[in-house]
Structure 1
């Protein structure tokens, strides 16, 4: 469920959906705005595996558990952004 398995495609696992959600949070957004942007992003990028609202919420729960997002005044906020170039040592 968190990572791809035989029954869950790589673009639908919670880690991938969580990463896709984080890409939508370049600025604080409501949960509804993040959901709408995620659906539009997945269509635009040809990710046709279904992601229900419940799966979206599970991915948000995972991100919250990892400390990657928080809720401030009813807005989802990405806690910090790490660019791949700065993460390399």
Structure 2
């Protein structure tokens, strides 16, 4: 469920959740602050999916941790 397939739409994949996460990450935020902002989003669903999306974005270098805050990586 990382990438979309014929039977899984993009917004239900971890990549889709990551895109939603990045759209809400406008400045440095704590993990709990970002979760509070995203918990009402229907495609995020559970905290587990949120954490998996954060991990995916960190592994591909889209986000970084600085002083305990999540920030977008420099382009």
**Shorter-chain TM-score category?**
0.7 to 0.9
Greater CA radius of gyration, 1 or 2?
1
**1:64 pairs with one of 54, 58, 61:** 58
Cα RMSD over matched residues?
A: 1.7
> Where does structure 1 differ by over 2 angstroms across 4 or more consecutive aligned residues?
none
Q: How many residues align?
A: 74
Distance change in 2, residues 1:33/1:54 (3 Å): same
CA distance in 2, matches of 1:24, 1:18: 10
Distance change in 2, residues 1:80/1:23 (3 Å): farther
**1:76 pairs with one of 28, 45, 70:** 70
**Residue 48 of structure 2: aligned partner:** 54
Which sections of structure 1, spanning at least 5 residues, go unmatched?
A: 43-47, 82-89
CA distance in 1, matches of 2:28, 2:20: 15
CA distance in 2, matches of 1:26, 1:63: 15
CA distance in 1, matches of 2:54, 2:30: 12
**Residue 13 of structure 2: aligned partner:** 13
